[in-house]
Amino acid sequence: MSGRICEGRVTIVTGAGRGIGRAEAVELARQGARVVVNDLGAEVDGTGSSLGPAGEVVDEIRRFGGEAVANGDDVSDWEGAQRLVNTAIETFGRLDVLVNNAGILRDRMLVNMTDDEWDAVIRVHLRGTFAPTRWAATYWRELARAGTPVDARVVNTSSASGIYGNPGQANYGAAKAGIAAFTVITAMELGRYGVTVNAIAPGALTRMTENLGAIRAARSGASAPAAPAEPDPVRSPENVAPLVAWLASSQSAGITGRVFNIGGGRLSVAEGWVAGPGIERDGLFDTEELNAIVPDLVARAAANADMRGQRA
């Protein structure tokens, strides 16, 4: 097939056994990429493991003529992340794209959250983004220093819970906000080596999100929303994957350090923290005078965005 935007590019997709990661891996392969399908095969909360889901995606890709290999390393493990990067290089000869998608949920209101529930989510999402990116970046830096042209991509996975906020997900939201900041900073650092770094904040119906409506309703005392009679393709993971494939391609060169909202048929660029209304002083602030200053600044500031990224 001609005209495929990722023709010949070697990609890693973490957490690619199901849901959004699976859709990303399949779409990348359809666009000509050779794919390392990474997945532990764990449950939504991160327990258990099986290479089965990754192998099933590899089989799916191979059935339509694509090239793929399964990998079951833990992306939050230092040596595991290095083995993952090495799998791409040793199997396909190089690495061009890293898609950090792996994640788990341990939702709980803060007053009920345990330290294990906090640590597990932070480890998989935040460390599981850092470790593979670190090893991939080291590989690309060595190529650049040796004079080899590099046109590489990192695509991270943030969330509306992280960049806008969602009750009951302090651990998940903190990790996803950290990934957004990680994206901006690493984009600044890796540009000199020919690497762009972007992130998506996806919205799709997956096994991680299918029960969130009922959970939110229970917390608010409302009735749970009725399940749709048939899946909505607009809200499917397959409607998120094309953006990732485009960001993974050479067509996205020059776009870096950005977070994109994608899901439900809507695509937008998230705008990060900015300095709003303020005052300046040559001298020290006085604690007592802040009572007359801070409320006025807050009153003039734009409201925080809702979960859709919209301000009232």
User: Which are the contacts of 104, defined by CB distance < 8 A and separation ≥ 6?
Assistant: 42, 44, 45, 46, 120, 121, 124, 125
Q: Which of 76, 139, 164, 176 is catalytic?
A: 176
If you search the block for the tokens 């990661």, which residue do you land on?
21
Q: Which of 76, 139, 161, 172 is catalytic?
A: 172
CB atoms within 10 A of CB 133: 23
Q: Which of 76, 139, 158, 159 is catalytic?
A: 159
Cβ contact 75:101 at 8 Å: no
CA distance 71 to 50: 11
Catalytic status, residue 193: no
Cβ contact 194:153 at 8 Å: no
Catalytic status, residue 158: no
CA distance 209 to 122: 18
Tell which residue, 67, 6, 13, has the closest CA to residue 31. Answer: 6
Q: Report how many helices (DSSP H) and strands (DSSP E) the chain contains, helices first.
A: 10, 8
CB atoms within 10 A of CB 242: 17
Q: Which amino acid is at 301?
A: A
Grouping H, G, I as helix, E, B as strand and the rest as coil, residue 129 is helix
Residue ranges with strand state E in the chain: 10-13, 34-38, 67-71, 97-99, 152-157, 195-203, 259-263, 266-270
Looking at the annotation, which residues are catalytic?
159, 172, 176
